[in-house]
Amino acid sequence: MTYSHARQVESLNQSLSEISSDINVSFEFFPPNSPAMETTLWNSIERLAPLKPSFVSVTYGAGSGTRDRTHDVIKRIQKETALLAAPHLTCIDAGREELVQIAKDYWESGVRHIVALRGDLPDSSEKPSMYAADLVELLKSVADFDISVAAYPEGHPEAPNPQFDLLNLKRKVDAGASRAISQFFFDIESYLRFRDRCVSVGIDVEIIPGILPVTNYNTLKRFAGLTNVHVPSWMPKMYEGLEDDETTRRLVGANIAMEQVKVLQKEGVKDFHFYTLNRAELTYAICHTLGIRPK
């Protein structure tokens, strides 16, 4: 390590320690589909709750069964914790009247924050009747929800070009979204360039970076291929030879995520959204490094 590089690392850590009190975090969970996964989920929520996140989101897949599990998790979080719970809601498998009823039910249940998404198409050849911007508009017509939407620093896989995708995000914001949460990424420059482009087209909400601590590189590689996420050339080398060593993989994943948040913090980012995969350990360690401790 050169003297210059050493000073840069010291500067990052010093800057982080000085403004950690200004950093906000949020966490994403998914509804369990087995008793063992349910235990893991609630252990993770219990572990992370003392960090006082801005909110916790719960994902949602196609089909009413998944939606019901999401709603059950949301209601239990509201009942048993002091956390602000935000369900994901998609519009590809429900008509407008059903979505209005779901929104009313959420509002009457005390839910005030929703993550509004189009959702994955069951058949890629079908053209959806509604998009996320339409869902945001519909939710705002029901009640004054606080709405988060998705952003794609490296472009949505279905977008014909980056500008099209950027303008689509602007439509969601113009419809009433309060913030955007980014797809996970590892190329920090892509996020920073995307943030600048958002400003250039008049998007004035926070673009919260989505942070994914990676514990299984092979799984990540498959998922990144589906979601148009660039995996830097240095990343596979970090996991090389660790196929049967989960403990070391987790340490490597935590280190990569910590370096991400350090650099992003230095660039003025104050809000981070962690994709926890229903496991608390790595997210808790990263938050500790950020200076976020149990209140």
Between CA 152 and CA 16, with CA 269 as vertex, the angle to 5 degrees is: 140
**Quick one: how far is CA 74 from the chain centroid?**
17
28 catalytically annotated: yes
Sign of torsion over alpha carbons 16, 294, 191, 260: positive
Residues 118, 128: contact at Cβ < 8 Å? yes
Question: At residue 93, what are phi and psi to the nearest 5 degrees?
Answer: -120, 25
Name 152's Cβ contacts closer than 8 Å, sequence gap at least 6.
159, 165, 169, 182, 183, 228
Place of tokens 């004035």: 204
Catalytic residue among 28, 38, 137, 267: 28
Name 160's Cβ contacts closer than 8 Å, sequence gap at least 6.
none
Measuring CA to CA, which residue among 256, 285, 275, 272 is closest to residue 187? 256
Q: Which residues are catalytic?
A: 28
